[in-house]
Chain A
Amino acid sequence: MAMPKREPTKLVPVPSTSIIPERDVDKAPILECRHLGIDFGGLTAVNDFDMAIGRTEIAGLIGPNGAGKTTVFNLLTKVYQPTRGNILLDGVSTQNMSTAQVNKAGIARTFQNIRLFDNLSVEDNVKLGLHNHIHYGMFQGLFRLPGYWKEERRAHERALELLSIFDMEDMAGAKAGSLPYGAQRRLEIVRALATEPKLLLLDEPAAGMNPSETAELMENIVKIRDTFQIAILLIEHDMSLVMGICEGICVLNFGQIIAKGSPEDIANNPVVIEAYLGKKKEDTGC
């Protein structure tokens, strides 16, 4: 698959709170975090996290281990309730929402340590992503009323269609837990996409992949953004992926944002280099 053509993106310069690509600037951002923070019993895990993501942007969240990146994802999806600050999803505050409600509002995610429904089939995993888009109730299911058959058939077709993004249709009947590692990672993305999100959060999607798999993943992430016209925020340690597809990057260290900007800005930012490589200057690439 060829890399889809994209216009080169220009970024609104730092220190503004946003890292939105220019094509999204006039539209309201899909996500806005203001002074987001959480404490775990006295320990401040994330503090003063300000970020905005454009409607069709691919953004990256990077930082050393333990910087609080996954915690940010957990805050956005309300797995943890933030201690401070607020999150606006498409202009709506998610303050009192649960994880499930945040998903219905438009944020879907994958997990760093894969979390599939291991004992269910691949197709059922995707159908669970479609859960809130399948419209029949418990009693229609119990009595096998026409609504059940109609909606299940539609869900089946949609599930196969979504699996075809990663050419996984032929695995539909397999148990999710028995899939090879790479396929499990891809299935998580498909399941998240099935919920029809406006913002997709990917937690280390390339972890454990070799360079050619990573290259394919990069193409697919861009393809997903282009097809679904959604925003994607990803956590990744693989700098070739981050620098290759992210339009805006946010660097986190010790729970604080230390830099924001375009890939070029970040790559040359002395503060970022220091955070990754330590204070003493030695010439090492990322």
Chain B
Amino acid sequence: MLTFLNHLISGISLGSVYAIIALGYTMVYGIAKMLNFAHGDVIMVGAYVCFFMVSSFGLHPIIGILLAMVVCTLLGIVIERLAYKPLRQAPSLAVLITAIGMSYFLQNAAQLLWTSNYKMFPAFFTFGGKNGVSFFDGRLNLSWTTIVTILACLVIMVVLTLFTDKTKLGKAMRACSEDKGAAQLMGINVNTTISVTFAIGSALAAVAGVLLCSAYPTLMPTTGSMPGIKAFTAAVFGGIGSIPGALLGGILLGIIEIFAKAYISTQVSDAIVFAVLIIVLLVKPTGLLGKQIREKV
């Protein structure tokens, strides 16, 4: 029972990271209707920035995370302006290839800058010399990283939901994702809104990068790819374009992955995760919380 609980908690924790990454995918998809494949690599950049700030310059981890967020935000805006904005009217396949090109670019630039050797990410989240709390004579362990990850995910979800529901900018984002033309006629600056979406998504990617590397501390230029693909899967799982969908999809995917590893097989856990995704899409073709779109004839 306790092992089950342990697995459940690590599943939720991993799922929280996926959910935060999935948010970036889902928000960008919702507004720009594009799959931003470079998103996973922004995570990697965020983790590297934080790593160097903390281990090379000896800055406090909090400052490291904040700086990583700033760098990733700028990176997100620059990528959007340079590569995606000129293709706003282009066919979606062209945009997809550009995003893939951007992903290759970030990975290879990181490899040139920081070499392909992996870096050990330091354990940030220790309080009073301990890296976690134990219950039931150490049979149930909760690391601070886990607690911080889950809390961070919840806080981000609440703040983001409030932001899109209550603020003017958030409403503008929702309007743009419904109908860009109409939003523009209502005086909303579509380009700024899209930039803001990329900025928020990228800042979240930085947070996700730090959290991911705190839990799995090997940092390489390709660190972001697989979590990126999984989080993208999570976004589709929950219904791409939907913020609660990203949370639900992320958490479920994390739990399925950890349970598959624990109870079925470590080697085929990825296959199981993807198989579950396919089954869900067969039953609900637009994801768990996705809107069913009726084609206008």
Direct A/B contact, Cβ within 8 angstroms = yes
- In the bound assembly, the distance between CA atoms of A70 and B296 in angstroms comes to 10
Query: Cβ of B294: which chain A residues have Cβ within 8 Å of it?
Result: 40
Is A121 on the interface with B (CB-CB < 8 A)? Answer: no
Chain A nearest Cβ from B284, distance in angstroms: 16
Query: Cβ of A145: which chain B residues have Cβ within 8 Å of it?
Result: none
- In the bound assembly, the distance between CA atoms of A70 and B297 in angstroms comes to 8
Query: Cβ of A111: which chain B residues have Cβ within 8 Å of it?
Result: 297
1/0 per residue B271-297: CB within 8 Å of A?
000000000000000000000001001
Chain B nearest Cβ from A203, distance in angstroms: 9
Is A114 on the interface with B (CB-CB < 8 A)? Answer: no
Chain B nearest Cβ from A201, distance in angstroms: 12
Query: Cβ of B297: which chain A residues have Cβ within 8 Å of it?
Result: 70, 74, 79, 111
1/0 per residue A74-112: CB within 8 Å of B?
100001000000000000000000000000000000010
- In the bound assembly, the distance between CA atoms of A227 and B148 in angstroms comes to 77
- In the bound assembly, the distance between CA atoms of A79 and B297 in angstroms comes to 8
1/0 per residue A53-77: CB within 8 Å of B?
0000000000000000010001000
Q: Which residue of B lies closest to A77 (CB)?
A: B297
Range class of the B interface residue count: under 10
- In the bound assembly, the distance between CA atoms of A209 and B32 in angstroms comes to 37
- The SS class assigned to the A binding surface is mixed
Query: Within residues 10 to 54 of chain A, which ones have a CB less than 8 A from any CB in chain B?
Result: 40
- The number of residues on chain A lying at the interface, defined by a beta carbon within 8 Å of a beta carbon of chain B, is 5
Query: Cβ of A74: which chain B residues have Cβ within 8 Å of it?
Result: 297
Chain A nearest Cβ from B208, distance in angstroms: 36
Query: Within residues 83 to 110 of chain B, which ones have a CB less than 8 A from any CB in chain A?
Result: none
Query: Cβ of A70: which chain B residues have Cβ within 8 Å of it?
Result: 297
Chain B nearest Cβ from A216, distance in angstroms: 27
Chain A nearest Cβ from B286, distance in angstroms: 15
- In the bound assembly, the distance between CA atoms of A40 and B294 in angstroms comes to 10
- In the bound assembly, the distance between CA atoms of A111 and B297 in angstroms comes to 8
Chain A nearest Cβ from B150, distance in angstroms: 36
- In the bound assembly, the distance between CA atoms of A74 and B294 in angstroms comes to 12
- In the bound assembly, the distance between CA atoms of A40 and B297 in angstroms comes to 14
Q: Which residue of B lies closest to A112 (CB)?
A: B297
- In the bound assembly, the distance between CA atoms of A111 and B296 in angstroms comes to 11
Chain A nearest Cβ from B285, distance in angstroms: 16
Q: Which residue of A lies closest to B292 (CB)?
A: A41
Q: Which residue of B lies closest to A203 (CB)?
A: B297
Chain B nearest Cβ from A69, distance in angstroms: 12
Chain A nearest Cβ from B290, distance in angstroms: 15
Q: Which residue of B lies closest to A73 (CB)?
A: B297
Chain B nearest Cβ from A68, distance in angstroms: 13
- In the bound assembly, the distance between CA atoms of A74 and B296 in angstroms comes to 10
- In the bound assembly, the distance between CA atoms of A74 and B297 in angstroms comes to 8
Considering the complex of A and B, which 5 residue pairs feature the smallest CB-CB distances, nearest first?
A79-B297, A74-B297, A111-B297, A70-B297, A40-B294
- Interface, chain B (partner A; CB < 8 A): 294, 297
A-B contact pairs, 5 of them (CB 8 A): A40-B294, A70-B297, A74-B297, A79-B297, A111-B297
